[in-house]
Amino acid sequence: MAKTKVLITGMSGLIGGALRRHLGDRYELTALNRSEVSGVRCHRADIRDATAISSAFEGQDVVVHLAAMVTGGARESAMDDMVQFNLIGTHNVFEAARTAGCKRVVFASSGATVAGYEDDEPYKTLVTAKAATVKPGWPMLTHESAVRPRGLYGCSKVWGETLARRAADAGDLSVICVRIGRVTDNDRADDARTRAVWCSHRDICALLEAAMVAPPSLKYDIVFGCSNNRFGYRDLEHSKAALGWQPQDSADGFFKD
């Protein structure tokens, strides 16, 4: 049986590399990357250039769109960077996938789309060292909660989710948006906020693969991607129900209490 063809944008990044290792040789992988990715077929192009990236999508079954400008900081170019990479670039990816007849795009959204809730209780305390003082049973944020982005990055990911909705409605393309939690280089949770929103390499890779292979009838959805953290406030029940995913890890093992 022919392997499913998967195009991964931003494969040279932290999550892209982890996903590549997780998927192994079970899929036929191609990278869409600005820099060379050794050991795998690589189409070198910038997602801001719609013409340059279009041929990379030909014959692909699934696209995992990870490439993004993660933070603009205080630089004068921050807004322009977000627009160019996370808005125009994401639009180009969706359009190229739709035009090429790809079946599914898995869009790497972010928990930053709702991180603004951390300015209010009980979430404000849940992301601190005093999280244990919060009475259990706090309201979880779900995929249906109103967005409340933090920073330009969070705003750009909200826009990406709306582009995903439009792309799914425009034809046969299915798009699943994964609101990824905090994924760290060392695969650990080393501070109070990370303890609440951490996602292990194993859990995020399993979730992305679950989104890749979900039934075609799932035309559009938004799911949260965090590990099974004691002080988590982002709902995982919908992620489990929609994709059959079960997180295996927890940030709590890195802490003494």
In the structure encoding, which two tokens stand for residue 155, read together? Answer: 């705003």
In the structure encoding, which two tokens stand for residue 137, read together? Answer: 């049973």
The verdict on pTM exceeding 0.85 is: yes
Q: Which domain holds residue 23?
A: 5-254
pLDDT at 128: 97
The domain total for the chain is 1
pLDDT at 78: 82
Domain CATH for 136: 3.40.50.720
**By the 8 A CB rule, do 97 and 105 touch?**
yes
The one-letter amino acid code at 52 reads A
Distances (CA, A) of 126 to 130, 138, 185, 229: 7, 10, 23, 11
- Quote helix, strand, coil % in the chain, to nearest 5: 40, 15, 40
pLDDT at 75: 55
Averaged pLDDT in 10-residue chunks for the chain of 257 residues: 94 97 97 95 97 98 96 65 95 97 98 97 98 97 97 94 96 96 97 98 98 97 98 98 98 91
pLDDT at 70: 85
Burial 181-193 (b: 16+ CB within 10 A, else e): bbbbeeeebebbb
**By the 8 A CB rule, do 221 and 176 touch?**
yes
pLDDT at 77: 66
